[in-house]
Amino acid sequence: MKKIIAAASLMAAVAAIGSRAQAEEFVVGAQLPLTGTLARVGAGMQEGVMVAADVFNKGNGKHKIKIVTIDDESAPAKAVAAVEKLASDGAIAITGGYGSNNISPASDAANKLGLPYITSGGVDDSLVNSGRKNFFRINNTAGYEKAVLGTLAEMGAKSVSIVFSTKEATSDLANSVQKALAAKGVKATAHSFDPAITDFKPIVNKIRLQDKSEVILMVGYENDYVGILRAARVLKPPVNALIGVWSLATPKMAAEFPDLMPNVFGTALLPFPATFDTADGKAFAAAYKALYKKEPDYLGQFGYVQSMLLFEAIARAADKGTVKKGGVAEELRKTDRETLIGRVQFGANGDNLNFVHRMAQHQGKNIVIVWPAANATGKMVYPGKPW
């Protein structure tokens, strides 16, 4: 009898060990633009999401993350459908989204379904001021504005032409920068354009003949930058620099449009080739290179940070048994740690309280961080035209 009891006890112990060894798996949805006008940035974020899952799964034996991705085709209606499909497929949270006009309806859908939604792809302030209880983002307009204004101040620019898309996020940033420049005595002339425009020569010609500004600031998206830079290359306005914001200072843009990018400025957290000093950064870079056989860029870095914070919140909620009781969002609200983009804390509205971007410049085959001085990896070339 004692032998039978001992054998039973041993089997129970082995079963318990086996149960602990079997990691609990959670499905996380990634709603991203992998086709359409935002495909390049969506692909960059997707790479970061997958790297985060790889690093998390290898380092956390107790919990596992399974990513299910749906392409929203850069369209708001498709973004909503993607979130709803991901929820029906068992996703407990959503990471991704690019473009505030896509993120807004998608995060509304997630909110109605009780799913936490985290992104780095939308800076429209209405995203955090509309009462979405489960919405989180790691970057914001204020962080981009600081980078643009800091760079223009370092250049000593006295006149700036702002060319911006009439989409809400781009309009908000352009108007905010224009007001800030005017308050500093800088002549700031704004030129809005419809997102459907493809010929920017009339706007650039107006800048060349009327504004005669020292700097052109482009507030738009990838296709817009390409159109503006192509027009500027033809008309050659007498400017000292061209600056853009998101999705411009990336290796992808340098590789696909090498004739347009020389000396162009854009926001970026990473130089290219990338360098990392922290253990988290080194793990990110190693996994990125292993998965994609290339250097990481800042879009991947954003996707990594937002997703890793989400995965860690899921793990903490799972340990407390609160995943299905709103625990993931609750744990995200408690986040306070250093990341690859700096310290992240979420305010009551889900916005990152500490975000400040950096400005980089395409220099030869490299992308060099030029602002702020504390993070610079080289000196800015100014004046510096791309032609």
Backbone dihedral region for residue 90 (phi beyond 0: left; psi -120 to 50: alpha; all else: beta): left
For residue 8, the model assigns a pLDDT of 45
Report the topology of domain 142-273+358-375.
Rossmann fold (3.40.50)
pLDDT digits (tens, 9 = 90+) for 240-289: 999 999 889 999 899 999 999 999 999 998 899 988 889 999 999 999 99
- For the chain, give every domain's residue range: 11-140+277-345, 142-273+358-375
Same fold, 11-140+277-345 and 142-273+358-375: yes
Pick the CATH number of 11-140+277-345 from 3.40.250.10, 3.40.47.10, 3.40.50.300, 3.40.50.2300: 3.40.50.2300
CA dist 161 and 214 (Å) reads 8
What pLDDT does residue 308 have?
A: 98
Residue pLDDT, tens place only, 188-217: 999 999 999 999 999 999 999 999 999 999
Helices (H), 27-140: 39-59, 76-88, 100-112
56 is written with which tokens? Answer: 């998390």
- pLDDT attached to residue 21: 52
Q: Is the pLDDT of residue 134 over 80?
A: yes
Give me the residue label for tokens 């993350």.
65
Question: What is residue 22's predicted lDDT score, i.e. its pLDDT?
Answer: 67
pLDDT given for residue 5 in this prediction:
43
